Amino acid sequence: MVKASATVDIVQKKLVYLYMCSYAALKPDLALLAINTLHKDCADRNPMVRGLALRSMCSLRMPGITEYIQHPILMGLRDKAAYVRRVAVLGCAKMRNLQPDAEIVDAALVNELYGLLRDPDPVVMVNCLRALEEMLKQEGGVVINKPIAHHLLNRIKDLDPWGQSEVLTFLLRYTPRTEEELFDILNLLDDFLHSVHSGVLAATICLFLRLSSAHPAVQADVLERARGPLLSASTAQCRELRFAALCHVQQILRSLPSLFAEQYKKFFCSYSEPNYIKFRKMEILIELVNDNNVAVILEELRAYCTDISPELAQAAIFAIGRIGQNYSEKCMSILTSLLGLKQEHITSAVVQMFRDLVWLCPQCTDLVCQALVDCEDYILDSEGKQALIWLLGVYGDQIPNAPYVLEDIIDNLKTEATPLVKLELLTATMRLFLVRPAETQDMLGRLLHYCIEEESHMAVRDRSLFYYRLLQCGVDETRKVLGSIKSDPFLGGIVSQQQEPVNNWASDFNSLVPIYGKNQWEAIKSARGSMSLSTEEQEEVQPDLPGFEETEQEATTSSSKAVHFEPCLSTSPPISPLSFEQKWLTLQPCRQVVVSWEEGDCAPNILQDALSHSNICALAFSKPHTWPWKAYLYSHGMNTLILAELLLNSSTDSLQITVKQEKDNKEAVDSFICVLEKVIEMMKSSKT
């Protein structure tokens, strides 16, 4: 593979580099072999090859690569071709993230990047912002001061939509000094409110809302101007885009419910849309209702009630019910007519809406009581049953056949699975007993008996025992407990819908928050909060990789193969002398090398230093001047542990190296010996 990268065919080169980038992390030693070719390509005449090589080199995600890419990146920043500069700028960010433990960001590099913000190529400029943002993460990201902000504003028209939306997001950090400046910015960027690209559109709206956070009138004006583009985004052909736009429209409606009131027809569902869009549109329609359009919207919603999808039909009925809180008469007539369909899911949803409506609009009670007759046969799900039983209990005196309906349910109690229905039934029967004792007494007795003697659910049993004891206290006591004053629904938060100030959500505009919905987002945030804590702890124990300046120089000057292997050795995890000894004794020697050694002895600390720079750990030495002198070394590399013994034999003037390893890996041994020989060579030369 590495050899293949030396080809002149660009297509082949691209594929090879792509392959290497994907697998470099798994086989770092092999990828190192490619560095030479990449270096060569970085000096190619063709800017495309230069850029490609630089990008690939920066994308090799393996430890120790930084020393090799530093120089090419710096060269790349000054390259003639914009393409190479783009790559080089992002390369700075990649390099920075590869050595996260380096504490100080290279100030010269940062300055150079700030300088490149003035680059004639727009993509280089945006990439500079992105790179600086990542490199200066700890200091709070890139600083947007007045000159930079103005520079960005002047250049923004040259950018492509991606760059524009990103720059607009960066501009959020800038606060104009004067109002005049603020309005200049707004005027300058006004065209972007009509961008075809929804990303730019949303970013512009977000920026405008944030800039004018002190001027609510301007905010309303901005949203007014953005209405058309937002509407066309919410009718876009791409349904994913449509959904995202609808979520944002919904957010705007929380503050300005009248903004889209005229265009309510835009939010009618079309039959080819997936359900999730239809649901969202119905939610929006509820918000848009006013005196003028209520009839049309209700008519439209009514048409959805017979949809093939039961969920959608129910949602439409719930929507009508919600509108009914303000327009009860019209909604009641629609809901009652729906009962005529005699379909289970529809009847159930309608009855649930009845329950909510009589609670909020007591004036509908009579109509509800008339409508309830005969619908018990079509309610099978537990939510519908609960609603029906509740209604029968509370308005039992107005519904003639209430006791008989309840009796039916009580008789079939054994087949009822949901405890909530049983609880509801207990309360309702008790209430009915208070108003129509003669008809109810017998079945109440049966119900209580069953619930106390045979029921296994604790809450149901406790409730029935409670009612039983309550009845023992007498009817008047019971009436006091069950028929006491009800809470006023208008005190609760159900009806009151405060208009939210725009600034509450302006910072969440054009983000994932409106799409997830607030509650889910909070959940995600809290989950992530706990997670990021734990990752921070993990980061602290990352091993640091010592860089050795001498070898780095050699790496750039010499073309020796061995040097490239070096960084793949590592001294962690450390091995205790005891386990070293055990392993040494059990393993077989796999290689023996003899090097000449004329000088007398060597100072252990020098050797130790030199070795540790090469990521070889010297575990134990003999004392100086003892013969034969021995040293024991180890290192990890390429998934194997390599152990070595150095034996200095004064009689033959030679140093004998014995290597053993845990898992058979010839390459690892080769590279280890290469490195070791190099170190010894250096020791010798330093002595002379």
Partner 1 sequence: MILQVFLLSSKGDHLIYKDFRGETDASIINIFYEKVVALPGDQPPIVMYHDGLHLIHIRQGGLYFVATSKSNLSPFTVIEFLNRLAALIKDYCGALSEKTVRMNFALIYELLDEMMDYGYVQTTSTDILKNFIQTEAVTSKPFSLFDLSNVGLFGADTQQSKVAPSTAASRPMLTTRGDQGSKNEIFVDVIERLTVVIGSNGTLMKSDVQGEIRVKCFLPSCSEIRIGLNEEFSVGKSQLRGYGTAVRVDECRFNESVRLDEFENYRILKIHPSHGEQTVMQYQLYDELPLAPPFRLFPTLERDPTGRLLVYMKLRCDLPPKSSALNVSLNLPVPKGTLSMSQNLSSPDQSAELQQSSKSIQWDIVRFPGGSQLSAMFKLEVPGLSSASLLEVGPASLSFELPKHTCTGLQIRFLRLSISQPALPQRWVRYVTHSDSYTIRI
Stretch that binds partner 1, among 30-38, 92-100, 178-186, 633-641 (CB under 8 A): 92-100
Nearer to partner 1 (CB atom), residue 17 or residue 580: 17
Nearer to partner 1 (CB atom), residue 198 or residue 665: 198
DSSP summary character for residue 603: -
Task: Establish if 306 lies at the interface with partner 1 (CB under 8 A).
Answer: yes
Q: Which of 197, 215, 225, 684 binds partner 1 (CB under 8 A)?
A: 197
Nearest to 79 by CA among 131, 106, 119: 119
> Which of positions 13-72 make contact with partner 1 (CB under 8 A)?
14-15, 18, 22, 25, 48, 55, 59, 61
Q: Which of 341, 452, 562, 683 binds partner 1 (CB under 8 A)?
A: 341
Q: Which of 214, 295, 303, 495 binds partner 1 (CB under 8 A)?
A: 303
> Which of positions 177-196 make contact with partner 1 (CB under 8 A)?
194-196
Q: Which residues pair with 595 in a beta bridge?
A: 655
How many residues touch partner 1 (CB under 8 A)?
87
Task: Establish if 95 lies at the interface with partner 1 (CB under 8 A).
Answer: no
- Distance separating alpha carbons of residues 30 and 463, to the nearest angstrom: 73
Task: Establish if 93 lies at the interface with partner 1 (CB under 8 A).
Answer: yes
User: What is the rounded (10 degree) CA torsion for 108, 114, 118, 123?
Assistant: 110
Task: Establish if 273 lies at the interface with partner 1 (CB under 8 A).
Answer: yes
Task: Establish if 515 lies at the interface with partner 1 (CB under 8 A).
Answer: yes
**Who's near 607: CB < 8 A, 6+ residues apart?**
618, 621, 631, 679, 683
Tell me how long the chain is: 688
- Taking the alpha carbons of 374, 379, 385, 390 in that order, is the dihedral positive or negative? negative
- Taking residues 116 to 145 in sequence order and writing x for each that binds partner 1 by CB under 8 A, - otherwise, the string is -------x--xx--x---------------
Nearer to partner 1 (CB atom), residue 160 or residue 544: 160
388-405 burial by CB neighbour count: b if 16+ within 10 A, else e?
bbbbbbbbbeebeebbeb
CB of 87 to partner 1, least distance (A): 7
Stretch that binds partner 1, among 147-155, 232-240, 316-324, 399-407 (CB under 8 A): 232-240
CB of 128 to partner 1, least distance (A): 11
Task: Establish if 199 lies at the interface with partner 1 (CB under 8 A).
Answer: yes
- Distance separating alpha carbons of residues 255 and 403, to the nearest angstrom: 48
CB of 57 to partner 1, least distance (A): 13
CB of 94 to partner 1, least distance (A): 6
CB of 604 to partner 1, least distance (A): 40
Nearer to partner 1 (CB atom), residue 240 or residue 476: 240
Nearest 5°: phi and psi at 100? -65, -20
If phi > 0 it is left, if psi is from -120 to 50 it is alpha, else beta; for residue 127 that is alpha
- Taking the alpha carbons of 567, 573, 576, 578 in that order, is the dihedral positive or negative? negative
> Which of positions 519-558 make contact with partner 1 (CB under 8 A)?
520, 524, 528, 531
Stretch that binds partner 1, among 225-233, 358-366, 385-393, 430-438 (CB under 8 A): 225-233
Contact by Cβ (8 Å): 28, 63: yes
Q: Which residues pair with 656 in a beta bridge?
A: 594, 647
Nearer to partner 1 (CB atom), residue 412 or residue 535: 535
- Distance separating alpha carbons of residues 61 and 165, to the nearest angstrom: 29
Task: Establish if 340 lies at the interface with partner 1 (CB under 8 A).
Answer: yes
CB of 501 to partner 1, least distance (A): 21
Stretch that binds partner 1, among 516-524, 585-593, 632-640, 664-672 (CB under 8 A): 516-524
H runs (alpha helix) in 436-483: 437-453, 458-472, 475-482
Q: How far from 181 is each of 149, 450, 473, CA to CA, in Å?
A: 11, 78, 77
> Which of positions 371-390 make contact with partner 1 (CB under 8 A)?
none
CB of 39 to partner 1, least distance (A): 20
DSSP summary character for residue 617: E
Q: Which of 69, 201, 350, 646 binds partner 1 (CB under 8 A)?
A: 201
Task: Establish if 274 lies at the interface with partner 1 (CB under 8 A).
Answer: yes
CB of 37 to partner 1, least distance (A): 18
User: What is the rounded (10 degree) CA torsion for 197, 201, 204, 208?
Assistant: 170
Nearer to partner 1 (CB atom), residue 244 or residue 631: 244
Task: Establish if 328 lies at the interface with partner 1 (CB under 8 A).
Answer: no
CB of 161 to partner 1, least distance (A): 7
SS3 content of the chain, % helix, strand, coil (to 5): 65, 5, 25
CB atoms within 10 A of CB 265: 12
Stretch that binds partner 1, among 460-468, 515-523, 592-600, 630-638 (CB under 8 A): 515-523
DSSP summary character for residue 616: -
Residue in the block written with tokens 């008339």: 370
